Homo-oligomer: A and B are copies of this chain.
Amino acid sequence: MAMIVSDPHSVDQDEVVTVNTNGKSEIPDIVIGRLPIYLRTLELLNREGREVTSSQELGERLGISSAQIRKDLSHFGEFGKQGTGYNVPYLCEQLAKILKVDHVWPIVLVGAGYLGHALANYSGFENRGFTIAAVFDSDPQKLNTKVGTARVQPMEAMPETIREMGCQIATIAVPVHAAQNVADRLIEAGIKSILCYAPITLHTPKHIRVEYIDPVIHFQHMTFYLNR
């Protein structure tokens, strides 16, 4: 398979993942979706001081087959050594680079309710590549109050702040009735990816990536398999 990141034994290069003639990445999205999980576990192993690991050990930790892990990684290069396995810090570094979290991305948060506060005060973002850089809310009462380390700005300030900070990612943590309007305004302001906590499917242009978090979806999935 073509080496599309960097050779395990060469120095860093700024190569980029190959993209086919359709402009679409040739790597299945479902594979990309597992990479952050691998990275999360590898960084845990790293903190535990482990120098090397194997696809088998990783698989056991994750409840995934070792073959799947090897094939997923093989899309991006050859990171392991036969007979030995993978060097943990090295693989962390490579995955961080592939996912582009070798630097910190500023994120816009809309909604300064309980959920907004929980997100803004969460300490787990920084060392995984993200920081809440700006917070917006339409409630004048909340204006200028502190949420995490940021201060609440009015919705009207969104376009300018987003452009100044170069934010491409936003999180929507507003009530469901306001979510579509917020999304429209974020996209208008230049946001490219949205993580939506409101329980609604947003209507957005095809070039905007939207992902969703809704605990009720998970709970309802669970109850199907429960009795009573």
Closest residue of chain B to A226 (Cβ to Cβ) is: B168
Using A124-B199, A201-B62, A201-B63 as known contacts, say yes or no to A129 and B223 having CB atoms under 8 A apart.
Answer: yes
Q: Evaluate contact between B216 and A128: CB separation under 8 angstroms.
A: yes
Which B residues are in CB contact (< 8 Å) with A40?
199-201, 214, 216-217
Check B44–A224 contact: CB distance below 8 A. Answer: no
Taking the closest CB of chain B, its distance from the CB of A116, in whole angstroms, is: 8
Determine the chain B residues whose CB is within 8 A of the CB of A220 once the complex forms.
35-36, 39, 99, 101, 128-129
Query: Smallest distance from the beta carbon of A158 to chain B beta carbons, Å?
Result: 19
The answer to whether A143 has its CB under 8 Å from any CB of chain B is no
Given A37-B217, A225-B193, decide whether A201 and B61 contact each other with a Cβ distance below 8 A. yes
Interface residues of A toward B: which range?
35 or more
Q: A118-B117, A199-B124, A224-B99 are in contact. Are A213 and B211 (CB under 8 A)?
A: no
- Measuring CB to CB, which residues of chain A are less than 8 angstroms from any residue of chain B? 17, 25, 32-33, 35-37, 39-41, 44, 61-63, 98-101, 105, 107, 113-115, 117-119, 121-122, 124-125, 128-130, 166, 168-169, 171, 176, 192-193, 195, 199-201, 203, 209, 211, 213-226, 228
23 contacts between A and B (CB under 8 A): A35-B224, A40-B200, A40-B214, A99-B223, A99-B224, A100-B224, A105-B219, A105-B223, A114-B118, A115-B122, A124-B176, A125-B216, A128-B216, A166-B228, A168-B228, A169-B223, A171-B215, A193-B223, A193-B226, A195-B215, A195-B219, A209-B222, A213-B218
